[in-house]
Amino acid sequence: MLLIGLAGAAHQAWSANLYTTVSDMFPKKAVASVIGMGGMAGSFGGMLFPLLTGALLDHFKAQAASPPATPSCSASARFAYLVAFGLNHLCAPKYEPLRLEY
């Protein structure tokens, strides 16, 4: 139970830092649009993940001799934050505010 609470707290800290990064890097006029695009991308990923997971489970179910797909699904969940952290630093390595011209 404590581990689940710790994971929930860590996820909340991660999401709060992402929102703060957007407001620190973009001008006030663009913050809502950038957060909206991030929400849209998250929703799109939320639609695709069950489809990909189902395809992976069906694939492993069809091959009865292979190991179960649960470790593969767990691995994607374990590495999701590391991949997101890497993408965050790839897109904004110096965390400098952007200057947008309208």
Tell me the C-alpha distance between 54 and 90, whole Å.
Answer: 30
Sign of CA dihedral 55, 81, 32, 92: negative
Is the pTM higher than 0.85? The answer reads no
Instruction: Convert the pLDDT of each residue in 30-60 to its tens digit.
Output: 899 999 999 999 999 999 989 988 888 888 7
Tell me the C-alpha distance between 24 and 66, whole Å.
Answer: 48
Q: Between vectors from CA 99 to CA 94 and to CA 102, what angle results, nearest 5°?
A: 155
Q: How many residues does the chain have?
A: 102
Instruction: Convert the pLDDT of each residue in 92-101 to its tens digit.
Output: 888 888 877 7
Q: Please name the residue that has the structure tokens 């994607």.
A: 76
